[in-house]
Structures are given as C-alpha cells and as structure tokens.
Amino acid sequence: MSLLINGARLADGTITDLYLKDGVLADPASAPAGVERFDAAGLLAIPGLVDLHTHLRQPGREDAETVDSGTDAAARGGFTCVHAMANTSPVTDTAEAAEYVHALGEREGHCQVQVVGAVTKGLAGEELAELGMMADSKAKVRVFSDDGKCVSDSLLMRRALTYVKAFDGMVAQHSQDPRLAGSTACCHESEWSGRLGLPGWPSQAESVIVARDVELAALTDSRVHVCHVSTAESVEIIRWAKKRGVKVTAEATPHHLLLDTPLVASYDTTFKVNPPLRTSEHVEAIREALADGTIDVVGTDHAPHARQDKDHPFDIALPGMLGLEQALAVVIEVMINTGRMDWPTLVQRMSSTPAALGQVPGQGRPLAIGEPANLVLVDPTARAAVDAAASKSRSRNNPYHGRDLPDPVVATYWRGRQTYSR
C-alpha cells in the first residue's frame, strides 16, 4: 500500500507530508503523481500508540475478547502495538504458550502483539515460570507479569528480578499486598467503603509492595515496572526511588486518571476494577505524576469481561474495564486540554517510552523517513458521547459509556497498512 498524507502537523508543530510505502515512511518527494492521497489539514500525526498492559483473553475466554477483536479495538484507539498479559487460560508461562499467542497476533492482529510472560508458573506465586525460554522463543518476551496477582513472596520477587537481568527483561508488578487488601477487597478503603459496606482496599496495600519492590530492584540492579499506579503514596515512593537511581518505571491507567471512588456508589459493576477507583486526591496525584514523568507511561489495563461475569453483586463480579478505545481521549481530556501536558510529552508517555520499556523494535519511533509506518492521525478537537455498543471489543464493560469525551482517532496505520478509519 502507498499513501501520501498531506499537510499533517507533527507533535512538535511542524507541518509535513508523510509518504507511506511498503510499510515504511518514504521521502514524500518520491511519491508518484497518481498516488492515493489523504488531506490531513488540521490533523495531528503522531507515532502509533503502544500499550504495555492489555488483556486479550485469548486463549481461554474468547467470549470476552480475542486477539482479533482486542487488537481491532486497539487500532480504533490509535494503538499499533499492545502487550498481551499472561493471565489467559492456559497461562502464558511457557515458551510454547508465548509462541502461540505471538503467532495469533501475527495472523489475526490489527496491531503488533507483544507477549507478556508470567513470572510464576500458573500465576501461583510459588515457582518461576520459564522466563528464559520465553525470552528466547519466537515471541521474544521481555516483559513478565503475574498481573491480576501480586508476586507477594519477597524472595521469589528478588529471584525473578535477578533472573531476567540475563536478557534485560522487566518484571511488571501488580502491587497488592494480598493480606492487607484481602481477596474480597473491591472498594477504595475510605468513607465510601464504610458507608457502602464494601470490603476496603487500602491505598497502603499498594504502596507497601511498591516500596518493597523498589528496594528489591535496587538490591538486584534490575528493572521493575509498577503496573496501574493508583495511589498518591505509591507516587511518592516511585519519585523517591527514581531520585536514588533505582530502575523503576510506572504506568497510569486512563481510568485512574479520570474516574473516582464515588462512581462505585451505584454498585454498577462496570466501575469495579483492580486496583479500585480512588478518591479525587489520588487521581490528582496520578495526573501530576504523569505530567512530571514520575509515572512514565499510560497503560490501559484494557480488561474486557463478558456480561455474565459482570452481572453479579459488586463483591463477586470480576474486576476490570475496557480501556483501549478511549485511552487517548482520556489523556487528551485530563492532560492536554487542561494544559498539564504537551503533545511531545504525550507521545513519550503513550508511544516511545512504552516501546522502549517493552523493547519493541519499530514501535514508538519518530515519524521520519526510513522509519516504520506506524502512526495515528488525530483530530484534537473532535468530541462525541461514548457509545459502548459501538465498541470494537467483544465486551461492553466500558466505564465511559454516555460520557462526552474527545473522539480523536481519525485513522491508524500499522506497518503502512490502514487498520482503522473513522
């Protein structure tokens, strides 16, 4: 496919033409006269977004999501690469399982699928999974996570961090002390949990693990990544650790940037997520940390669930909400439109930095001649009410349904091929 995009504005404000040819960005001056053209006047062109934290549910829960539907949703959201979390059924804890998901991505993906391997066998938190074999497999796994569960055993976490150094891997931790936030915890521990009678999830159940893990990262001189940071206390610890030079990185989800605890008062299980929606003070701390770089990236924690898994009482329903399609919209709304962040920084947080952390070649690259043609065209002013029924995902647990938000993605191109067009 060849396409000449005329007059797009780059994140730095430069107006330019982009020529997509054979999967790379070629010199626009070399485009033949009759080439297909796209008038991008008024639109931004930014590198395709990269998500470090996606649940594609395949294999095992294809009723909730598949590689096909999940990456279709990703393309709709402007993503050209997603990291597929390991908590599938079976768990991605062997080289064979990793290669299977990788092959699915290559065959059916509407964007690149990078495989996240489990840290421990079966996510059981007892024995290391085949970290090295997953790293050496065709999937070239570099990010390992038991997400959904915390690697709570300190010694095992130390060994995981030490082990992945051999191939410069990264352990992405779901920080949740399993005792402090018990198995039924489902609401930010606060006046809200007290009034609603919902088991509380104290913010310190996250920050105590974050504190422990940065110490273990310092001890091992290895890379730890804090998934879905949700509390002001965690932010402070990460800020302190970075100043010390510890190799810690962190992500914020779109929902923890926009939504807060009072939404839970309706007992609408769409708003049940783990970690839970926090109070506005925590939300503010997350926004500030994303702006100043304490939090390095936006990770969607896109967690599709079939309706039958949400049609339960609040404490029983599965946690998780969709995130891929509205991630950019939310970041524009709370960071760009409020003047907290500029576009070059957004590109760092949502494309170049996650690509670098996940060590994904060809992603998060600048839009320059010779680079892979992974990009998204953005209308920064368009808005629309979110319609959950219009989602490309197989699931409908969209927490933004009915909310007026930016509707930025005009078209997405992956490996030079259009994967979404409005």
Partner 1 sequence: MRHLLGCADLSATDANAILDLAEEMQQVQSRPVKKLPALRGRTIVNIFFEDSTRTRTSFEIAGKWLSADTINVSAKGSSVSKGESLRDTMLTLDAMGVDCFVIRHPSSGAAAQVASWVRAQVVNAGDGQHEHPTQALLDAYTMRKHFRSLGREGFAGKKIAIVGDLLHSRVVRSNVLLQNLLGGEVVLVAPPTLLPTGVENWGCQVTSDFDAVLPEADIVMMLRVQRERMAGGYFPTEREYTAGYGLTEERLRALKPGAGICHPGPMNRGVEISSAAADAANSLVLDQVASGVAVRMSVLYHLLGSDEGAMR
Binding residues for substrate: 55-57, 87, 274, 305, 319-320
CB-CB contact of 378 with 76 (8 Å): no
Residues 365, 372: Cα–Cα separation, whole Å: 8
Is 233 or 301 the residue whose CB approaches partner 1 more closely? 233
Contacts of 172 (CB under 8 A, 6+ apart): 52, 53, 116, 143, 144, 145, 147, 224, 225, 226, 227
Between 127 and 311, CB nearer to partner 1: 311
Nearer to partner 1, 30 or 308 (CB): 308
Comparing CB distances to partner 1, the nearer of 2 and 279 is 279
By beta-carbon proximity to partner 1, the closer residue of 51 and 260 is 260
In 165-231, alpha helices (H): 191-196, 204-220
Q: Which residues are annotated as a binding site for Zn(2+)?
A: 53, 55, 147, 174, 228, 301
CB 313, min distance to partner 1, A: 3
Phi, psi of 293 (to 5 degrees): 90, 0
- State the Cα–Cα distance between residues 364 and 18, nearest whole angstrom: 16
Is 27 catalytic? The answer is no
Min dist CB 224 to partner 1, Å, is 30
Closest to partner 1 by CB, 187 or 341? 187
Compute and round to an integer the Cα radius of gyration of the chain. Answer: 20
Cα 120 from Cα 93, distance rounded (Å)? 7
381-386's contacts with Cβ under 8 Å and 24+ in sequence apart are 381/406, 382/406, 382/407, 382/408, 382/410, 383/407, 386/326, 386/329
What tokens appear for 178 in the block? 């399993």
Which pairing describes strands 200-201 and 223-226: parallel, antiparallel, or unpaired?
unpaired
Distance CA 71, CA 79 (A): 8
Catalytic entry in 51, 301, 309, 407: 301
Interface residues with partner 1 (CB under 8 A)? 189-200, 266-267, 269, 308, 311-316
Task: Give the angle subtended at the CA of 346 by the CAs of 343 and 350, to the nearest 5°.
Answer: 145
Q: Which residues are annotated as a binding site?
A: 53, 55-57, 87, 147, 174, 228, 274, 301, 305, 319-320
353 by Cβ neighbours in 10 Å (0-12 / 13-18 / 19+) ranks as: buried
Gap between the Cα atoms of 32 and 28, Å rounded: 9
Residue 181: CB partners within 8 Å, gap ≥ 6? 200, 201, 202, 205, 206
CB of 264 to partner 1, least distance (A): 9
Judged by beta carbon, residue 177 or residue 215, the one nearer partner 1 is 177
Least CB distance to partner 1 at residue 288 (A): 25
List phi, psi (to 5°) of 8. Answer: -80, 150
Shortest spacing between CB 230 and partner 1, in angstroms: 17
* Catalytic residue set: 301
